């Protein structure tokens, strides 16, 4: 029997009085609500572990707490299994077009430095690793078991992923957000916040950079600026080939995530269209990657 999510929230001992709830649309992994209790607003996320996607709520909780400690995210006010209550931040979620604006990009780069450098010192307890090529292999296995409608396309995608992983080569290890969709940035009019730590874990910094670029359609010149500004002093182009490979991997992972969700998610969302959109992006990026000179080869980044 499924529980009414509003009842789950209303029955929490955390509240001081009668509450009102307002659902927040757009979530395709969690159910989100704004709760008002005695004039104060709270952001409430409902969601259980999703092992198919590597989402473990203990990890989200620890990452969210660490992100608040370093000033990136709203404070975690309460947690119990399946329910996370955060301080409410009034503001707008960014769009892909917003992310492509220079003033926003200039704010995002130092946020990534804080995430990659400072959160490493704050995360407590067991921590996950987010290696995109492991995620891809696991998704492919899941899709094969489920006899996905895309099963005939999987062998070619696996081979492309193998080539991408070989190109990335050895990496530096940092603590990453790993899901830099535009909607995970919140502008309160004074500053940006980075939210939703479902996929947080140790990773290469190039994945967050490539994920940001591929999810939000950055131009080639913006990508050059992003890499130069992040790797200060600039890396003289050594990481560019690996960055291009990570852009492909980011889009392939998102495509496979959607294929798995087509089969296993009960969220009301058009996953088939989302799969098509991301596969188109992946194939376009793959053609660019394949056509580029591989002179740089595998690099450490």
Per-residue pLDDT tens for 238-265?
A: 678 999 999 999 999 999 999 999 999 8
Number of Cβ within 10 Å of residue 39's Cβ equals 6
What is the distance between the alpha carbons of residues 251 and 267, in angstroms, rounded to a whole number? 21
Instruction: Write the secondary structure of 220-238 as one string of H (helix), E (strand) and C (coil).
Output: HHHHHHHHHHHCCCCCCCC
Q: For residue range 272-295, list pLDDT tens digits in order.
A: 999 999 999 999 999 999 998 555
pLDDT at 1: 40
Do the beta carbons of residue 245 and residue 128 sit within 8 Å?
Answer: no
Do the beta carbons of residue 176 and residue 208 sit within 8 Å?
Answer: yes
- Superfamily for domain range 93-291: Aminoglycoside phosphotransferase (APH), C-terminal lobe (3.90.1200.10)
pTM, 2 dp = 0.91
What is the distance between the alpha carbons of residues 291 and 133, in angstroms, rounded to a whole number? 22
pLDDT at 6: 81
> Domain locations in the chain?
5-90, 93-291
DSSP-derived letter for residue 114 is I
Domain 5-90 is in which class? alpha beta
**pLDDT under 50: residue ranges of the chain:** 1, 296-301
């Amino acid at each position: 029997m499924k529980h009414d999510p509003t009842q789950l929230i209303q029955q929490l001992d955390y509240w001081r009085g009668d509450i009102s709830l307002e659902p927040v649309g757009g979530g395709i992994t969690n159910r989100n609500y704004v709760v008002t209790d005695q004039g104060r607003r709270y952001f409430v996320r409902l969601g259980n572990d999703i092992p198919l996607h590597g989402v473990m709520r203990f990890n989200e909780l620890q990452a969210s707490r660490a992100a608040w400690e370093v000033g990136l995210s709203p404070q975690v006010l309460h947690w119990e299994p399946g329910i996370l209550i955060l301080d409410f931040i009034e503001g707008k979620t960014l769009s892909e077009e917003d992310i492509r604006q220079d003033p926003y990009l200039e704010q995002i780069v130092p946020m990534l430095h804080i995430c990659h450098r400072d959160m490493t010192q704050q995360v407590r307890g067991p921590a996950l690793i987010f290696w995109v090529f492991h995620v891809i292999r696991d998704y492919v296995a899941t899709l094969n078991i489920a006899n996905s409608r895309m099963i005939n396309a999987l062998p070619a995608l696996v081979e492309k992923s193998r080539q991408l992983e070989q190109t990335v080569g050895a990496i530096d290890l940092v603590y990453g957000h790993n899901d830099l969709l535009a909607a995970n940035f919140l502008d309160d009019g004074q500053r940006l916040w980075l939210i939703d730590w479902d996929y947080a874990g140790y990773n290469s910094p190039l994945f967050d950079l490539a994920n940001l670029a591929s999810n939000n359609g950055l131009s080639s010149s913006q990508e050059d600026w992003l890499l130069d500004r992040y790797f200060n002093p600039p890396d003289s182009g050594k990481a560019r080939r690996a960055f291009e490979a990570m852009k492909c991997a980011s889009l392939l992972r998102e495509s496979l995530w959607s294929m798995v969700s087509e089969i296993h998610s009960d969220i009301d969302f058009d996953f088939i269209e989302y799969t098509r959109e991301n596969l188109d992006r992946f194939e376009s990026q793959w053609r660019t990657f394949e056509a580029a000179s591989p002179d740089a080869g595998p690099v450490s980044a």
